[in-house]
C-alpha cells in the first residue's frame, strides 16, 4: 500500500516529474508516526484519540515518564509499527533547555528496526 508523501509542517511532496510523490514501506510509517506525534489530541474530529501533541509541550516542565507513556501509547495505535516487537523511547537533555526524543521500533511492512528522533 502507498500514501501521498507529506513532510510534517509543509505541503505535499513533489515527485521528480512534478507530480505528487507517494511513499511506501518504512518511509510511509515514519511519516505517519511524525504526523501522529505532532498532531494535537482531538485535532481530527473523527478520531479524537489520535495525536500526541508533542509540539504543544515545548516550553513546559519536562515530564519524562508522561512523555514516554504518551509516545508508547501512540506507537501502539500506529498500524505500521510491528506490535510484536519492543518499542524503546529514550529522552535526553543534551543541553539546558533542550530535549532529544529517540524512538526505536520495528517497521511492520519491512520488518526492519527503525530509529526516529525528535528534538527541540
**Non-local CB neighbours of 41 within 8 Å, separated by 6+ positions:** 48, 49, 50, 51, 52, 53
Task: Inform me whether the pLDDT recorded for 16 exceeds 80.
Answer: yes
Closest CA to 41 of 56, 54, 52, 57: 52
Percent of the chain with pLDDT over 70: 100
If phi > 0 it is left, if psi is from -120 to 50 it is alpha, else beta; for residue 53 that is left
Number of domains within the chain: 1
Q: Rounded to two decimals, what is the model's pTM?
A: 0.84
Reported as a single tens digit per residue, the pLDDT across 56-67 is 888 777 788 999
CATH number for position 64:
3.10.450.40
Task: Inform me whether the pLDDT recorded for 7 exceeds 80.
Answer: no
Reported as a single tens digit per residue, the pLDDT across 20-67 is 888 888 999 999 999 999 999 888 889 888 998 888 888 777 788 999
Give the domain extent around 70.
2-119
Report the number of secondary-structure helices (H) and strands (E) in the chain: 2, 5
Contact between 40 and 53 under an 8 Å Cβ cutoff? The reply is yes
Query: End-to-end distance of the chain based on CA atoms, in angstroms?
Result: 32
Amino acid at each position: 500500500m502507498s500514501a501521498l508523501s507529506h513532510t510534517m509542517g509543509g505541503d505535499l511532496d513533489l515527485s521528480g516529474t512534478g507530480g505528487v510523490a507517494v511513499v511506501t514501506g518504512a518511509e510511509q510509517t515514519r511519516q505517519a508516526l511524525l504526523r501522529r506525534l505532532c498532531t494535537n489530541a482531538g485535532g481530527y474530529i473523527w478520531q479524537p484519540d489520535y495525536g500526541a501533541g508533542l509540539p504543544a509541550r515545548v516550553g513546559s516542565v519536562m515530564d519524562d515518564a508522561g512523555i514516554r507513556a504518551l509516545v508508547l501509547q501512540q506507537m501502539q495505535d500506529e498500524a505500521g509499527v510491528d506490535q510484536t516487537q519492543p518499542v524503546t523511547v529514550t529522552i535526553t537533555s543534551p543541553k539546558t533547555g533542550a530535549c532529544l526524543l529517540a524512538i526505536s521500533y520495528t517497521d511492520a511492512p519491512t520488518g526492519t528496526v527503525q530509529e526516529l528522533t525528535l528534538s527541540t
